[in-house]
Amino acid sequence: MTGRAGEAVEEKGESALKSVLKNVFMVLLLSSGTGLAQMHPPEPTVNLGDTSFLDALGGPGVLLEQIGDAYHSGLTTNGMGQALGTAPAVNSISSLTHGIVLTKHHLLGAWYGTEVIVTAAHVNGGAPGAIGGFGDLTLSPLILQWKQQKFGPTLLNQRFVLDFEVPVGEYSQTLPTSLSSHAFTVHPYYAFTYFPVRRIETSWRTHYLYNGVNNSPPIQTKAHSTQAGQAAHFNATVAFGLAHGLWLGANGYFLKQFTDPKLDGAKLHGSPEQVGSLGPGLVWDHGQTMFYVNGYHEFGALNRPQGNKLVVRVQWIPGRHPGIGGAD
């Protein structure tokens, strides 16, 4: 983050990012009669591929970040991965504004700080209609960023973040699509970036997601309360550093819901969500400014849409020099 020139916060963000992108809290855009698999409370929008290369680099200072997301899905699957013919195509664009302050004070051997993420989106669900506005707010009272460690010729960077999503986004019980889950979530993550040799990096960010109860669910559910299941998801990359701060590589993500969602407190067996993705990406390290472009093609979806995603991200880190953190 800002700080001295040598300190960078590449909090790659938005952990909380949750990336609220893709932003389609599809409260089952699916029309009636598509079965139990479509009636389940869906997972909220989370950070699937919104952070990528050189993810866990960082140091005291300030980071400001803008993320743009475009998503298209012409396919929604059931619990066996089969396409639902009645499900409409979904198109969404979203914007994430992310700010971080990382202090020079220490806790558990790490610099600590805070972050906030504000999201906005426009979602077009076809016949069911479109919606635009602000999404949920992500807040973190605790970021722990450890100083880069050296093990022989290898370098390791690590971060832990405790995020909370506050349901303040656009929401309606009567509309088929909303920009909010209308429930509080707890969403911590651990990230590391490892340089096994010079100019080769791999970054992994692993999240745990706990969803609170929505006591005003969509009327289509005919329920008094709903609760999405607990889930785990990760983003992963491997990249090679070329000349002039350019890195090229592969990126992917995977989400797995591991507990059943609930309607009025009753478990809905056989309806957890899953999706994976792979694609190419790049990042240009230009010192105080970092530019990212990542593409993803989804596969293996269960009980959710499956499509393609493009992420464009710009970071501004005052006082940072190119290659800081072992990425040169």
- Encode pLDDT of 39-81 as tens digits: 678 899 899 999 999 999 999 999 999 999 999 998 888 888 8
Map residue 269 onto helix, strand or coil.
coil
Handedness of CA 60, 192, 48, 6 (dihedral sign): positive
pLDDT at 11: 43
Tokens of 181: 């889950």
What is the pLDDT confidence band of residue 97, given thresholds at 50, 70 and 90?
Answer: very high
What is the pLDDT confidence band of residue 174, given thresholds at 50, 70 and 90?
Answer: confident
Which residue, among 62, 49, 159, has the nearest Cα to 107 in the 3D structure? 159
pLDDT at 32: 31
pLDDT at 178: 83
Residue 254 has pLDDT above 90, yes or no: yes
pLDDT at 9: 46
Q: Give residue 324's identity as a one-letter amino acid code.
A: I
Phi, psi of 36 (to 5 degrees): -60, -35
| DSSP state, residue 175 | S
* Domain assignments of the chain as residue spans, ordered by start: 15-258+274-316
Q: What percent of the chain has pLDDT over 70?
A: 85
DSSP symbols for 232-268: EEEEEEEEEE-GGGEEEEEEEEEEEE-S--EETTEE-
Total residue count of the chain as it appears in this document: 328
pLDDT at 247: 97
Handedness of CA 216, 217, 223, 226 (dihedral sign): negative
Of 3.40.50.970, 3.40.50.20, 3.40.430.10, 2.40.160.40, the CATH number of 15-258+274-316 is 2.40.160.40
Least confident interval from 6-10, 140-144, 280-284: 6-10
Least confident interval from 54-68, 91-105, 193-207, 263-277: 263-277
Residue 238 has pLDDT above 50, yes or no: yes
Secondary element (H or E) of residue 68? strand 61-76
Average pLDDT over residues 111-130: 88
Contact 300, 276 (CB under 8 A): yes
pLDDT at 327: 56
Map residue 285 onto helix, strand or coil.
strand
pLDDT at 319: 86
Q: What is d(CA 127, CA 176) in angstroms, rounded to the nearest whole number? A: 10
pLDDT at 6: 40
pLDDT at 25: 38
Q: What is d(CA 121, CA 123) in angstroms, rounded to the nearest whole number? A: 6
Residue 4 has pLDDT above 50, yes or no: no
